[in-house]
Amino acid sequence: MTITDEVLPHEHVRFAHNSERQFAKLLDFYAIEWEYEPRTFVLATDAEGNPQEAFTPDFYLPAYDLYIEITTLNQKLVTKKNRKVRKLREAFPGTKVKIFYQRDYLRLLVKYGLEPPSQHVLDDAGVAELRFDDAVPHTSSEEAGTG
């Protein structure tokens, strides 16, 4: 079997978003072991101990003991994820988690040639963004308070 015939891990997973698939493809290319949404962290419970708020990071990289959350969506979701990551760090000290914002993700795509630069378009503010298969509005990293 040639390397081109080999089925890579990202080909066995149904991802919620194209950005997650592309990130997994990059990890596969560099032979970095990953798990997709392997754990849900309960962040808040009710009086009976039932989960009221939880967070499931997109990826876990066992070799780095690191969780990764890919955030390329609108401001409302970025703010919500930032809050959940803060709560996760408070509730589970020592748990390493990194958020990849839209600008981080776009840089990876261009740097590693996962999407051609022609996929980039300018938004109303003149900031480059990538159109994904997800068909959801995207915000620039500056609008997300990360730039």
The pTM of this model reads 0.69
The residues pairing with 42 across neighbouring beta strands, listed in sequence order, are 54
Cα–Cα nearest to 39, from 59, 69, 13: 59
CATH code of the domain occupying 9-130: 3.40.960.10
- Tens digit of pLDDT at every position of the chain (147 positions): 344 556 666 777 888 888 888 889 888 888 999 999 999 999 999 999 999 999 999 999 999 999 999 887 666 778 888 999 999 999 999 999 999 888 887 787 788 776 644 444 434 444 444 333 333 333 333 333 334
- Residue 108 is predicted with a pLDDT of 78
Q: What is the DSSP letter of 49?
A: S
Cα–Cα nearest to 18, from 121, 145, 146, 130: 130
Give residue limits of the domains in the chain.
Answer: 9-130
DSSP H helical ranges for the chain: 18-29, 75-91, 102-111
- Residue 113 is predicted with a pLDDT of 73
